Amino acid sequence: MGAMTDTDAPPLMDCEDVAWFRDQPEAARGAAAALGRRIGLGEQRSSQLVLAVAELAGNIAKHAVDGSLLLRVVRNHATAGVEVLAVDGGPGIVDVQAALRDGMSTAGTLGIGLGAVRRLADSFHIHSQPGLGTVQLARFWPRPADPSATGEPVVGGVTRPIGGEQVCGDAWAARTDTGERQRAPHIGDTPAPSASGGVSWSALTGIRPPSSHPSSPRPPSPHSPAPRPSEPHPPTPPAADPFVRPGGSGRPGRTGRPTAVRAAAAGPGTGVLVMSCDGLGHGPMAAVAAQAAVHAFRTGTARTPEETVEQVHRALRGTRGAAVAVARLEPDGRLLFCGVGNITAALVTGTSRTTLLSHPGITGHQIHQLRTYEHHLPRHGVLVMHSDGLSERWAPGDLAGLLHHPPALIAAALLRQAGTRRDDASAVIAKAAR
């Protein structure tokens, strides 16, 4: 993400996914301890991180039907910390406020309770729906915390590799734009990002990753067809009218007509550029393409989505290629969008979902004439972009109770709702930049 030099710039954070843990509470605790020491949280703060991870992972192991925990490094322009995302598929919490009161620890955990997790963390958010599951986000900064760490970022996302892989061919990134050249920040003393768009777990913790990948599905049937990693994603078919989405799609909750802007220009003030990228196939080669796209996006000088896609296209020549979508959120609520390939993008409120058009093609190999489409992001709505590692079988109502939460928590909930586990998966959420 671009460094923020404007004091009025929307807050952003750089995220480097480290590892998912599934049914591995001990491994999650050990990784949290090693990660806290590695990025310099300090002994006391690292111990508090481990205690919180133990409670969250223990709850998943004891009560969840299907749950995972993600540990990752986060950084703003001033400091680095650790973020924990806990996602499970049920049974959910009937009374969240009661669960957050002291003395309400669940059986089988270390006994500190969710209320203590909330106090230990610098930021804590939870959303639970009985019968569906719970999503929790806890963030830990060094103490004393830098004042810049108090705000919630307006963009957040999550990636998850296909089962059996340690790197992900999906990636996302965001940066602010004021018209001046900006330098992308790095994660303090940690190694450079790996080809997956995240820092490798081994490099950050200094210990080997778990033998069973936390996001792996249960062992497949011997009659299941083998995956085809080298098969490219099918390009998105063009609409009959390239400027207007055809009506009568039969998909409920999708409304609105985009306006094609032939000479889109960045508006005044600080805008936010957001990219979603899906390297073709999965595995290391897809990750190489995704990381090349992230590097081009972060270091590029383009101000509009169309120009950004063109810069990424040139950077991906010689790679496997990728589906890429870029949006620019303006302070006045306008949203400019340009996409190539099979990235799903939509503007979502609690009751509506407006699909954003992408062009057919493969970034890095063949793209046709690009057009930028102009929309207006509703004040209480969000921009959703996700790879085809998530199905489109989700409706606005699935996110209605989540829209007041941070973007990263919304992205994790969407991944739980629509993730297929048959491919790399990623989701990125952006809120209004105003």
- pLDDT on residue 220: 38
Predicted confidence at residue 103, as pLDDT, reads 54
Query: Which domain CATH number covers 91?
Result: 3.30.565.10
pLDDT of residue 386: 98
325 pairs with which residues across the strands?
276, 339
- CA nearest to 313, candidates 348, 364, 359, 352: 364
What is the 3-class SS of 339-359, one letter each residue? Answer: EECCCEEEEECCCCEEECCCE
Tokens of 99: 């669960």
Q: Beta partners for 383?
A: 347, 430
Residues 295 and 416 in one domain: yes
Half-sphere exposure of 261 (CA within 13 A, CB side): 18
Give the pLDDT confidence score for residue 65 in this predicted structure.
81
In a domain, 78, yes or no: yes
pLDDT of the residue at 417: 92
Dihedral of the CA atoms 302, 303, 309, 310 (nearest 10)?
Answer: -40
For residue 217, being part of any structural domain is answered with no
CB atoms within 10 A of CB 72: 23
Q: How far is residue 57's CA from residue 125's CA, in Å, rounded to a whole number?
A: 16
Residue where a domain terminates, one of 149, 172, 197: 149
Same domain, 263 and 130: no
Classify residue 161: in a domain, yes or no.
no
Distances (CA, A) of 149 to 80, 158, 296, 409: 9, 20, 27, 17
Return the structure tokens found at 354: 């407006």
Number of domains in the chain: 2
In this structure, the strands spanning 170-177 and 366-367 are unpaired
Q: What does the pLDDT read at residue 23? A: 86
273 with 410, same domain: the answer is yes
Instruction: Look at residue 197 and tell me if it is in a domain.
Output: no
Q: Is residue 125 part of a domain?
A: yes
**What pTM does this model have?**
0.81
Q: Is residue 216 part of a domain?
A: no
> Cα(311)–Cα(370) distance, rounded to whole angstroms?
12
Q: What is the pLDDT of residue 263?
A: 59
Residue 8: what pLDDT?
A: 61
Position 189: which residue type? D
Residue 272 near residue 154, CB atoms below 8 Å: yes
Q: Note whether residue 213 is domain-resident.
A: no
Residue 111 is predicted with a pLDDT of: 53
Tokens 């011997």 correspond to 222
pLDDT at 159: 96
Which pLDDT value is given to residue 228? 39
Residues 269 and 415 in one domain: yes
Instruction: Give the end of a domain, one of 128, 149, 170.
Output: 149
Examine residue 144 and say whether the peptide bond preceding it is cis (omega within 30 degrees of 0): yes
Query: 270 and 411: one domain?
Result: yes
Domain with 341 in it: what CATH number? Answer: 3.60.40.10
Among the candidates 118, 149, 180, a domain finishes at: 149
Looking at the structure, do residues 280 and 423 belong to the same domain, yes or no? Answer: yes
**266 & 402 share domain:** yes
Q: Is residue 174 part of a domain?
A: no
Domain extent for 267 = 259-430
pLDDT tens by residue, 14-72: 888 789 999 899 999 999 999 999 999 999 999 999 999 999 999 898 888 889 999 99
SS3 of 227, please? coil
Positions of the chain with pLDDT lower than 50, given as ranges: 1-7, 107-110, 182-256
